[in-house]
Structure 1
Amino acid sequence: MAASRRPGGRHRARYGRYDGGPDPLAPPVDLAEALGHIGEDVMAGYSPERAMQEFLRRGGRDGRGLDELAREVARKRQELLAKHNLDGTLNEVRELLDKAVLAERGQLARDVDLDDGDRAFRELQLGNLPPSTAAAVSELASYDWQSAEARADYEKIKDLLGRELLDQRFKGMKQAMEGATEEDRAAINEMLGDLNELLEKNRAGTDTPEDFAEFMAKHGSFFPENPQNIDELMDALAQRSAAAQRMLNSMTPEQRRELMELSAQAFGSPELMEGLNRLDQNLQALRPGEDWGGSEQFGGEEGLGLGDGTGALQDLAELDALSEQLSQAYGGARMDDLDLDKLARQLGDAAAVDARTLQELERALRDSGYLKRTSDGQLRLSPKAMRQLGKALLKDVANRISGRQGERDLRQAGAAGERSGATREWAFGDTEPWDIPRTVLNAARRRAADGDGSGRLFELADVEVQETEARTQAAVALLVDTSFSMAMDGRWVPMKRTALALHQLVTSRFRGDHLQLIGFGRHAEVMEIEQLTALDSMWAKGTNLHHGLLLANRFFRKHPNAQPVLLIVTDGEPTSHLEPDGEVYFSYPPHPLTIAYSVRELDNAGRLGAQVTFFRLGEDPGLARFIDSMAKRVDGRVVAPELDDLGAAVVGSYLGSRGGRGSTAAAAESTFGGWFGGSRGFWVG
């Protein structure tokens, strides 16, 4: 906005498009979406750096990514080459020449005062012009035109060639010099002479800023780009001069020869061509890094003049530079390398907006603390990023829990806490085990009270359940299978998502609980959440449940006052165990000793009071039989969730284990009560 003063002292505001950088009113970039995609890729085995690059390539919901922008750049490049050819100036010269010859022949036929011999000689000269346009123009340079119209058309050829050659080096000159006078042409030649002297001083290292200022004060009207120093001037001139050379390289040998011969006719004097050749030599010496030797294959029907063709070659060079920038395939590539002005010029403002959004995303991801660089120079997801990802995953889990129609529980037993020895009447929603003696006794008493014993054998009013004492803290061990089959069968990422969601829930909502993550493959290992989510696929065979249970029981013993909760996610029977000397023993099919060691440690967990839930992945009958038998030994529970529902199943089981007398659904409602709106479970926090 700019303000100006009206007569009388009143102010008038004028509004225009904001061009001072990024739009200050634009909405902030959506880091949550970016982090979600990056987190998924990291858990799939990508490095954070590569995951970020992949997101930038794909783009977000509301903007194009690098790949789509690169495809548009390639498409425009192909369209330029397929639409145009480089015959434009030669064809225009040919048309003017044919028009001049036709007008001259007409004048010769009408001129009755012309000597017959002279007429015959002139007609013979016109009829035997060489087929080469350049040669014909050169041969007619000394012809005494009888037709004023023909002479004017021929002079247009010289004027056209001069303007086209200037337009090759100074964009816009073709139009600016249309109808130019001799004084205008003299000014051009003077400017070229002064420019070459300035460039030659720079080559010799003797130029000064005052030399540049003096040149611009005298000839600045020829340079609408308004360069601020000699380097900017040389850059602009060299880019266009190199494009002109590439256009010449792209022509056929016949086209080049014709053009070189015609150039001598520019403005009817060789002085212009001499100045331009001197300019090209200076620029090549000063800017050798420009592409002076390239060429392109044009194959279209629309002819381009020298100036327009040079502009097309400049466009192609810009498109090539944009293609390289968008590829981000070179060392040290950053989104800030993208030239937004070039992108807007070639693909439009919308493309520049999408690219700026990607730049801001990359900058925000690097500067906001979501990515951290380790001592070895590698990017890692920071704890802040892990919390953000965990929130998103927990949100998805909570929505799934709120909308579930039930789990595929295969067996459920046990209680939510230690049995107190007391019983009470059953109430709707109770999950505690029935007290069978008290229930049978209540039924017998009721039937006896009826007198004739004709009532129903059992009624719900007869049922009593065993009361339990809910513990205020839980020690939760999540054992996740990291064996070969988990990666091979597409269960790797769902497993990590589950661990991250549970970790987020415990650390944010149940800070008094203790959580340990244990991965068990050929051997078991206690892992931090960052280590687990970044874990590469484990291709070594082996499912060492025995070692995992050993670590879990050690964890439970460290927290004797907390309720032990054991959650085991697996897709295979145990195939390895630890020997007494600490070595890993592997056997497939499972060795009886491996099974025995695993059962022994599971029994130990049961004696510690652990509430055990197995999450069985896959439909292997042998695995189902094994897990069922294991769960029965400790009054445990088996859940066979779909992969997409694994996180909800594990989190739901954890909530149920610490929910006292309430059900899993009730515990979830209590836990997520502040995060849901209404019974449909919409996330509002």
Structure 2
Amino acid sequence: MPQRRRTRYGRYTGGPDPLAPPVDVTEALEAIAEEVMAGYSPERALREFLRHGSRGREGYDDLARRIAEKRREKLQKHNLGGTLQEVKKLLDDAVLAERGQLARDVTMDDTDRAFREMQLDNLPASTAAAVNELSDYDWQSTDAREKFEQIRDLLGREVLDQRFAGMKQALENATDEDRAAVKQMLQDLNELLDKHRRGEDTEQDFADFMDKHGRNFPENPRNVDELIDAMAKRSAAAQRMLNSMTEEQRRELMELSAQAFGSPELMEQLGELEGNLRSMRPDLDWSGSEDFSGEEGLGLGDGTGAVQDIAELDELAEQLSQSYDGAHSSDIDLEALGRQLGEEAAVSAETLAELERAMRDSGLLRHNVDGSLGLSPQAMRRLGKTLLADAAKQLSARSGARDAQLAGASGEQTGASRPWEFGDTQPWDVTRTVTNALQRSAVEGETPSGRVRIEVQDVEVVETEARTQSAVALLVDTSYSMASEGRWVPMKRTALALHHLISTRFRGDELALIGFGRHALNMDIDELTALPPVREQGTNLHHGLLLAEKFFARHPSMDPTLLIVTDGEPTAHLMPHGEAWFDWPTHPETLRQTLIQLDKVTRRGTRTTFFRLGHDPGLEHFLNQLADRVGGRVTAPELDDLGAAVVGEYLRRRDPGFGDIDW
């Protein structure tokens, strides 16, 4: 019976997971739009979102803080005296063992014993000098001799570990044959680098070298340049580690290094290697240093690794800052991030990068003519839909209704249809519904059977509108107090919700968006959304009413509705030559001009509503007088209710059957 083959499954590593769900850009779009409405550019808003992250997901700033904390911990935990401490302990143990042997050996000549004890008593205080002085000492204790030989072995392994990560462990208990192999590897490496510098090396030279010595290079370089890059980074880190030591520590280590494996040739080859690497990669940091101040000593190899880690942390910090020209999420080294902070950190960064790609590729952001980034019409529609849904929920909660259905009810059909939503009572558009079902069935490969299977997603309903059409002028205060008092973004969210309602559900109506600060200005929804706050005083309601009058004049057959959102009394009016005249508090002439224009607008039968923001008693009294003068009304919603208040007032004015809502 043939043996059944076992199949094992592991994590997918062939690029982006093809089965992973697409990232949800809704939260990103809302956050970016919020920043845009506050006055930031979409590009900066996108950068801010990536920096701060999303709900339950770290942003680049969070990751950068963790990077900085790990860097600080490394410096505060370690010092670079580990090798010197190990050597000193081995030396002390060797001297102690030798003293014990001298004291126990009764056969030794007393003169010889006294001379040896004097040598041990007068050893230099410097560890390096003491080791050098004892290099030719004839040890009487076997244990002492082994301890002293361990010093040379340790130094050799540490010196190699500086340049080749893992050598300290790999060469533990090494034989003479192992050491000879290392010397041969260094010789072959220097020859390869010399040939490469002269431009005489070939791919076969590199392949032969790796076949022979590849086990010493865990980085698995694919060519000689990658080999040089890996080795030069390690060598530069080793130099920065030495630069981080005290002058005394450096001097001690330089003297001790001559004892490595008892082989001066080793140091000569390493010196030649460092010279080759410096000349080939002069752009690396060979002169920097770090301030290690901890209690835990690191040897030469581990210290070099710590300095390399710090360099990698610094590179990640710069990548995460995204503060340089041309910065992009793809610049972040996810492998290095996972190595330093763990897999979850890499997943967070990867998700943010996917969000950025999705935002740029989904059509929600677009490049303007000047090269800047802007919100696309698709983004504006999605945002408007979300804001309108929020307003509908608030309307529903205020009125106690099940759900506020913001569609033209019990009116004439507009000729348009839309997908059915829960709670809709409009009649089905049978033609569109059946067509959708047939198209879906064909895509799903269903065999025609003479019957049509209709699913919920196929259903479209007929849109209706009230029998009358409205011309709606929304005047929004754009004076600086709106921004300084936190009313700037709620004002824009309100305009977006109303714009989406009229453009999608009441297409027969006309909407004018008019901002009034020192001057008034007709704006489309894109302009209003991106409008930054201007530090300029002036509330020119007079100019805003002039523009509203012109708008109503262009639509004489429509019912005029005037909605005014403001947080201050008028302090400016338009002069005949087009300049704005400003004075504070309200000047009688400004008040007179504003009232004249308000009366002119309302003589058209305009229904006027003022939305008062803030709790200024003077403004409350003033707006109440204006409303009484023109038969209008004043509402004072909280900022969170402003969108629902404006949308609800529009619907109430348009269809009295919608019902009064007490705000």
**TM-score bin (small chain):** 0.7 to 0.9
Write out per-residue CA displacement over residues 270-309 of structure 1, whole angstroms, 9 at most, x where no aligned residue: 1111111111111011111111101111111111111111
Task: Choose which of 200, 208, 214 in structure 2 pairs with 1:206.
Answer: 200
Write out per-residue CA displacement over residues 658-677 of structure 1, whole angstroms, 9 at most, x where no aligned residue: 124341469x9xxxxxxxxx
Q: Which residue of 2 aligns with 1:32?
A: 26
Task: Show the 5 A alignment for 1:406-425.
Answer: none
Q: Tell whether the 8 Å contact from 1:80 to 1:312 is kept in structure 2 after alignment.
A: yes
Displacement of 1:139 after TM fit? 1.0
How much is the aligned-residue C-alpha RMSD, in angstroms? Answer: 2.0
Structure 2: 5+ residue stretches without partners: 401-410, 412-464
- Residue 287 of structure 2 aligns to a residue whose secondary structure is coil
Q: Tell whether the 8 Å contact from 2:71 to 2:310 is kept in structure 1 after alignment.
A: yes
Q: Which residue of 2 aligns with 1:605?
A: 601
Q: Which residue of 1 aligns with 2:257?
A: 263
Mapped pair 1:360 → 2:354:
yes
Displacement of 1:25 after TM fit? 4.2
Return the index of the structure with the highest Cα Rg: 1
- Residue 108 of structure 2 aligns to a residue whose secondary structure is coil
Mapped pair 1:390 → 2:384:
yes
- The alignment covers a number of residue pairs equal to 600
What one-letter code is carried by the residue in structure 1 that aligns with 2:512? Q
CA–CA distance in 2 between the matches of 1:624 and 1:104? 99
- Residue 581 of structure 2 aligns to a residue whose secondary structure is strand
Task: Choose which of 287, 310, 314 in structure 1 pairs with 2:304.
Answer: 310
Mapped pair 1:372 → 2:366:
yes
Q: Which residue of 1 aligns with 2:507?
A: 511
Task: Choose which of 371, 380, 393 in structure 2 pairs with 1:399.
Answer: 393
**So what's the TM-score if we normalise by structure 2?**
0.87
CA–CA distance in 2 between the matches of 1:175 and 1:269? 19
What one-letter code is carried by the residue in structure 2 that aligns with 1:579? M
Q: Which residue of 1 aligns with 2:610?
A: 614
Q: Which residue of 2 aligns with 1:548?
A: 544
Q: Which residue of 1 aligns with 2:118?
A: 124
Task: Show the 5 A alignment for 1:556-635.
Answer: 556-635=552-631
Q: Tell whether the 8 Å contact from 1:544 to 1:574 is kept in structure 2 after alignment.
A: yes
Q: Which residue of 1 aligns with 2:475?
A: 479
Mapped pair 1:92 → 2:86:
yes
Displacement of 1:206 after TM fit? 2.0
Mapped pair 1:137 → 2:131:
yes
Write out per-residue CA displacement over residues 519-568 of structure 1, whole angstroms, 9 at most, x where no aligned residue: 11122110011111111113222222222112112212222222211101
Write out per-residue CA displacement over residues 126-182 of structure 1, whole angstroms, 9 at most, x where no aligned residue: 221111111111111111112211111111111111111111111111111111111
Displacement of 1:643 after TM fit? 1.6
CA–CA distance in 2 between the matches of 1:113 and 1:48? 91
Return closer, same or farther for 1:284/1:599 CA change in 2, 3 Å cut-off: same
Task: Choose which of 194, 211, 223 in structure 2 pairs with 1:217.
Answer: 211
CA–CA distance in 2 between the matches of 1:583 and 1:244? 70
What one-letter code is carried by the residue in structure 2 that aligns with 1:99? D
Task: Choose which of 646, 650, 661 in structure 1 pairs with 2:646.
Answer: 650
What one-letter code is carried by the residue in structure 1 that aligns with 2:203? P
Q: Tell whether the 8 Å contact from 1:655 to 1:664 is kept in structure 2 after alignment.
A: no
- Residue 657 of structure 2 aligns to a residue whose secondary structure is coil
Q: Tell whether the 8 Å contact from 2:539 to 2:571 is kept in structure 1 after alignment.
A: yes
- Residue 12 of structure 1 aligns to a residue whose secondary structure is coil
Q: Which residue of 1 aligns with 2:275?
A: 281
CA–CA distance in 2 between the matches of 1:75 and 1:577? 57
Q: Tell whether the 8 Å contact from 2:575 to 2:581 is kept in structure 1 after alignment.
A: yes
Q: Which residue of 1 aligns with 2:532?
A: 536
- Residue 404 of structure 1 aligns to a residue whose secondary structure is helix
Q: Which residue of 2 aligns with 1:113?
A: 107
Task: Show the 5 A alignment for 1:142-157.
Answer: 142-157=136-151
Write out per-residue CA displacement over residues 354-401 of structure 1, whole angstroms, 9 at most, x where no aligned residue: 111111111111221222222322111121221222122222211211
- Residue 369 of structure 2 aligns to a residue whose secondary structure is coil
Task: Choose which of 98, 102, 106 in structure 1 pairs with 2:96.
Answer: 102
Q: Which residue of 1 aligns with 2:408?
A: none
Q: Tell whether the 8 Å contact from 2:398 to 2:661 is kept in structure 1 after alignment.
A: no
CA–CA distance in 2 between the matches of 1:592 and 1:275? 93
Q: Which moved more, 1:545-554 or 1:170-179?
A: 545-554
CA–CA distance in 1 between the matches of 2:81 and 2:576? 87
Q: Which residue of 2 aligns with 1:489?
A: 485
What one-letter code is carried by the residue in structure 2 that aligns with 1:628? N
Mapped pair 1:174 → 2:168:
yes
Return closer, same or farther for 1:116/1:366 CA change in 2, 3 Å cut-off: same
Task: Choose which of 186, 192, 196 in structure 2 pairs with 1:192.
Answer: 186
Write out per-residue CA displacement over residues 293-331 of structure 1, whole angstroms, 9 at most, x where no aligned residue: 011111111111111111111111111111111111211
CA–CA distance in 1 between the matches of 2:121 and 2:658? 108
Mapped pair 1:341 → 2:335:
yes
- Residue 114 of structure 1 aligns to a residue whose secondary structure is coil
What one-letter code is carried by the residue in structure 1 that aligns with 2:599? D
Return closer, same or farther for 1:138/1:638 CA change in 2, 3 Å cut-off: same
Mapped pair 1:42 → 2:36:
yes
- Residue 548 of structure 1 aligns to a residue whose secondary structure is helix
Write out per-residue CA displacement over residues 71-94 of structure 1, whole angstroms, 9 at most, x where no aligned residue: 111111111111111111111111
Structure 1: 5+ residue stretches without partners: 1-6, 407-416, 418-468, 669-685
Write out per-residue CA displacement over residues 109-136 of structure 1, whole angstroms, 9 at most, x where no aligned residue: 2222222221221111122111111111
- Residue 626 of structure 1 aligns to a residue whose secondary structure is helix
Q: Tell whether the 8 Å contact from 2:399 to 2:661 is kept in structure 1 after alignment.
A: no
CA–CA distance in 2 between the matches of 1:584 and 1:102? 96
What one-letter code is carried by the residue in structure 2 that aligns with 1:269? S
CA–CA distance in 2 between the matches of 1:590 and 1:117? 113
What one-letter code is carried by the residue in structure 1 that aligns with 2:337? L
Percent of counterpart pairs with the same letter?
67
Q: Which residue of 1 aligns with 2:344?
A: 350
- Residue 11 of structure 1 aligns to a residue whose secondary structure is coil
CA–CA distance in 2 between the matches of 1:544 and 1:92? 80
Q: Tell whether the 8 Å contact from 2:479 to 2:534 is kept in structure 1 after alignment.
A: yes
CA–CA distance in 1 between the matches of 2:613 and 2:218? 70
Displacement of 1:614 after TM fit? 0.9
Write out per-residue CA displacement over residues 181-209 of structure 1, whole angstroms, 9 at most, x where no aligned residue: 11111111111011011111222222222
What one-letter code is carried by the residue in structure 2 that aligns with 1:281? G
**So what's the TM-score if we normalise by structure 1?**
0.85
CA–CA distance in 2 between the matches of 1:588 and 1:143? 97
Q: Which residue of 2 aligns with 1:677?
A: none
Write out per-residue CA displacement over residues 21-65 of structure 1, whole angstroms, 9 at most, x where no aligned residue: 334444432311111111111111111111111111111102111
Q: Which residue of 2 aligns with 1:13?
A: 7
CA–CA distance in 2 between the matches of 1:484 and 1:87? 61
CA–CA distance in 2 between the matches of 1:387 and 1:9? 60
CA–CA distance in 1 between the matches of 2:183 and 2:631? 100
